[in-house]
Chains A and B, each alone.
Chain A
Amino acid sequence: MSSPALLRHSEHSMPASATAETTSVPATTPPAAPPSFGTLALRWYRLNRDGLRATAIGIISLLAFLLVWHLLTTYHVVFFVRFTNVPSPLAVYASFAKAIHDPKFLLHVLLSCRRIFFGFSLAAIVAVPLGLVMGRFKLVHEIIFPVAEVLRPIPAIAWVPMAIMLWPTNEQSIVYITFLGSFFPILVNTLHGMSLVDPVLVRAAQCLGARERWIFRDVYFPASLPHIFTGLTVGMGVAWVSLIAAEMISGQYGIGYFTWEAYSLVQYADIALGMIAIGVLGLGSSMLIRGAGQLVMPWRSR
């Protein structure tokens, strides 16, 4: 502006800076030629080498566990811990092969699953919205939080006598225990998620014209989802713990009852079978939740 020389200089430099910008843009979209199957397989192997290694070591470790179990039980090792009456893996497998065709065993499993389904689902349906509302509205938090804090440390198992008094049927009291077990982990984690919502994101939404309802739906809720799912995973674990305890104490059916009954009836192999069934069911249900989490939060999968 002051001298024509300066102006001319700036005009000259314009195309240079423009090309610098345009060349930087296409570099972000690389064209890919279809590679051969061999190179693809090799690449897949290289990318998944760590995963394959972990799987291989995992299988070896499980086999070693079975082998140690087998040796301890066939030689009836007594070394403080007594393995004299502990069933061998083969005996457990034999009772599994029998149980899989036994409708009664399947009924035990099915009933336990049903109790988990109702107890856990109710807990999620109540605890998640409650946590969201408590996290958003101070007054609700101030009213409910003290009660929740007093009830939370009471283990669900300690509720068994009270539950039997409270509910008309055994089935309802067991579902209630399961509900209680998963309720607090879900509530606490939802609250935690709400407390960690980035206030700048809320402000960004407000600047874009979002009102309360939409901020709740599009900011608070998705921002809390990772913690909600942590709560659901923990809650599912505690649900199983509570369920098995309740079934052992007051049940007539269910995999916990099956395990306890096996002890009373001196069917040692069935004890281990019941335990393994509980483990597998617990693992399966937490995998279901993790899968659901990946479906609901696609932005977090990598």
Chain B
Amino acid sequence: MSEIVVKAPQGHIEVRNFSLSYDSIEGPVEAVTDTQIHVKPGEFVSIVGPSGCGKSTLLNAVAGFLKPTTGIVTVDGEKVNGPSAERGMVFQQYSLFPWKTVRENVEFGLKMRGMPRSQRERAARTLLGLAGLEAFEKHYPEKLSGGMKQRVGIVRALATGPKVLLLDEPFGALDAQTRVIMQQILTNMWQRLKISVLFVTHDIDEAIFLSDRVYCMTARPGSIKAEIPIPLERPRQQSMMMSSEFLALRRGLMSLIREESIKAMGGELNDMGMQGLNIELHGHSLADVI
């Protein structure tokens, strides 16, 4: 455990007056517009929204992969200029290096930092132990299940001791049971490391269960529609998802998202030239299905 440095609370993410557009033949297309979000040190914040609303775009800008068209992204007051080990990232597609064993994957960031071999081996083993993966350190990722792969993904991102952890629908490809366990593991690690987390998901239950605060985004071009504090007590248990408080939050968020999903779908239907279709009606039937 000595390798994992518990720092003074830091990792204050701030996104101000943010917009991001990309060029197309028809002119600039706005993906995200006029957006302000922040994550306080040690806070767990989720972004939810209909698919294609630009929540991943926003996360990629915080990671440093995309440059904002206007506005600024800062972490602890410093402007984000490109990807860095200070901002660990977990991807939906796991994105483990297939040619590295589990332990080599976890060691990679430490190797980049110039940590000597024996030291980083020890650090990687400790971290894998925390995630219950020490028995698999010599396996190649291909041999692991989805849940195990993503545990390695999280451990790999945390190994370098980043200030913030960014997760882009990390459990989207997992089955329901595995997802629940993964949420628990992530919560445990977050509480232990006191790290700031920005979590992108389309799963409302997941967002409420994990977060201190949830941002809800509008349909494209995405902006923040609402900011919902989640006052549920920690540590949280699975059974909480049946509580009236949880269900009330869920209902609120659900209706916010539904409005935007219908807008997003309506837009698409119009684009396809299906003008005759009653969008409102379509939305209601969709809602009934949900």
Contacts and interface: CB of A to CB of B under 8 A. Distances in A.
Contact of A297 (B99, B112, B135, B233): B99
A209 B109 contact: yes
A221 to B, nearest CB: 9
Interface stretch (A24-32, A103-111, A138-146, A250-258): A24-32
B83 A222 contact: no
B181 A208 contact: no
Interface in B37-94: 63, 65, 82-85, 87-89, 91, 93
B109 A17 contact: no
A50 interface: no
B63 A1 contact: no
A218 B99 CA distance: 9
Interface stretch (A86-94, A120-128, A197-205): A197-205
B24 interface: no
Contact of A205 (B65, B108, B113, B232): B108
Nearest to A12: B239
A10 B238 CA distance: 8
A29 B135 contact: yes
Given A204-B95, A205-B108, A208-B109, 4 more contacts: A11-B237, A207-B89, A207-B157, A225-B99
Nearest to A210: B112
A9 interface: yes
A208 B98 contact: no
A13 B142 contact: no
A200 B99 contact: no
Nearest to A203: B65
A204 B112 CA distance: 12
Contacts of B99: 222-223, 225, 297, 299
B187 interface: no
A97 to B, nearest CB: 47
A203 B184 CA distance: 26
Contact of A218 (B83, B84, B88, B108): B108
A219 interface: yes
Nearest to A18: B184
Interface in B107-145: 108-109, 112-113, 132, 135, 140, 142
Contacts of A2: 243-245
Nearest to A6: B243
Q: Interface size for chain B: under 10, 10 to 19, 20 to 34, or 35 or more residues?
A: 35 or more
B19 interface: no
Contact of A13 (B84, B109, B237): B237
5 contacts: A2-B245, A7-B233, A9-B239, A14-B237, A209-B112
Given A10-B240, A208-B156, A219-B97, A1 B232 contact: yes
A51 B251 CA distance: 58
Given A1-B233, A214-B112, A208 B85 contact: yes
Contacts of A200: 91, 93, 95
Contacts of A13: 237-239
A25 B178 CA distance: 12
Interface of B: 63, 65, 82-85, 87-89, 91, 93, 95-100, 108-109, 112-113, 132, 135, 140, 142, 156-157, 160, 181, 184, 231-233, 236-240, 243-245
B185 to A, nearest CB: 9
The 6 closest A-B pairs by CB, nearest first: A209-B85, A208-B109, A206-B83, A222-B99, A209-B112, A13-B239
Contacts of B96: 204
Interface in A195-241: 198, 200-201, 203-211, 214, 218-219, 222-223, 225
B215 to A, nearest CB: 22
A102 interface: no
A188 B240 CA distance: 57
B4 to A, nearest CB: 16
Interface string A291-302: 000000111000
B142 A299 contact: yes
A256 to B, nearest CB: 39
A1 B245 contact: yes
Contacts of B240: 6, 10
A10 B237 contact: yes
A28 B237 CA distance: 25
A28 to B, nearest CB: 7
Nearest to A205: B108
